[in-house]
Amino acid sequence: MTLVVAHASPDICFMVGDTLLSHEHFQLKGDIGPINGEFHSLKIQILSGELAVAFAGNFDAAYSAVAALKLELSDDSTIDSAVWLASKKLADVDFLVLKNEEKKQLFVIEHGEVRQATDAHIGDGEEWNRLLQLKQPYKGALERHTIDENGGITRSDLVTSGEQEFDVVSDAIEALSRDRVGRKQPTVGAISGCVVRIVDARISGQLEYLQAVEASNFPWEPAGGFTLLASNELSRGIGIFFRVGRKGFILPAGGTLPCVASTAETLQAFIEEARVKFGMKLTGGTWVEPA
């Protein structure tokens, strides 16, 4: 199953979702290990800086439809993506279509029907209810400051309600992906809590995958942690690399394989592997490898 939450308003548009794929292997062995990349995929696909599509339901049918849409758009950029997806009448697939154009718009496609929304979610209804229980009030800054090269504040802006909601939803889905209380077979999850977040970026104005870095919090494992890198140019997607164990996963948007386990021994080799195999330019938090 899946859970993707989306929002579109004049000040911000975003999607946040998990990566876990339901699989018969879960019932056989219950093996959903926290870094088991075999069962993960980008359920939020950025097709351009102005368009992203998320899906829930039959993975193969949904993934194929989004790949086909991407090809159609390369030939005719005027296609209405929401109408095109609805026309496929995929009975067991729901879509969210986020348009970041002159107006930020969100469309929901369920049972082959299209409706516009400000807030929407698709996926597992029970997990949605758990998410609502996990949501916490916004605790971040109330103002955003622009700093010049000398460290002076050149501009201050209020953090909008939409921006606050983005933080709240992100935190809640991450908490849900890690939550195991009372859940024998969770249907929402992410590799070590690395949920996928996309937003219209403040500098570029384009839809982008967001990066994340987590350092080790344990003195006995000082070199622990991971980095979630993002590629937001022609070949989009994300990469997750763990400092301990030298384990990495590459999740290309629209790739033939939804998630590829990396054999790289270093972070720089991991970044290069994504470039060579998928044309991705991964950027984000890095570290200096020991000599």
Mean pLDDT throughout 92-121?
A: 96
Q: Is residue 187 within 8 Å of residue 41, measured between CB atoms?
A: no
Given this model, what pLDDT does residue 29 score? 44
Mean pLDDT throughout 25-33?
A: 44
Given this model, what pLDDT does residue 32 score? 44
The model's pLDDT over 161-194, given as tens digits with 9 standing for 90+, comes to 999 999 999 999 998 888 766 555 556 677 777 8
Given this model, what pLDDT does residue 187 score? 65
Q: Which residue has the tokens 């800086």?
A: 49
DSSP string of 110-148, one letter each residue: ETTEEEEESEEEEE-HHHHHHHHHH-----S-SEEEEE-
**Range of lowest pLDDT (1-5, 36-40, 42-46, 76-80):** 36-40
Terminal-to-terminal C-alpha distance of the chain: 43
Highest averaged pLDDT of the listed ranges 17-21, 155-159, 281-285 = 281-285
Given this model, what pLDDT does residue 132 score? 95
Which fold does the domain 3-135+169-210 belong to in CATH? Glutamine Phosphoribosylpyrophosphate, subunit 1, domain 1 (3.60.20)
Mean pLDDT throughout 70-80?
A: 92
Highest averaged pLDDT of the listed ranges 15-29, 40-54, 188-202, 248-262 = 40-54
pLDDT for residue 41 is more than 50: yes
pLDDT for residue 246 is more than 80: no
Highest averaged pLDDT of the listed ranges 18-22, 181-185, 237-241 = 237-241
Mean of all residue pLDDT scores within the chain: 86
Given this model, what pLDDT does residue 2 score? 83
Given this model, what pLDDT does residue 26 score? 43
Can you list the positions of beta strands (E) in the chain?
3-9, 12-17, 44-48, 51-57, 93-100, 104-110, 113-117, 119-123, 143-147, 153-158, 196-200, 207-209, 212-215, 225-231, 237-242, 247-252, 260-262
The model's pLDDT over 190-224, given as tens digits with 9 standing for 90+, comes to 777 788 999 999 889 999 999 998 876 556 555 66
Q: Which residue has the tokens 């950025």?
A: 46
Given this model, what pLDDT does residue 214 score? 82
pLDDT for residue 274 is more than 60: yes
Mean pLDDT throughout 220-232?
A: 80
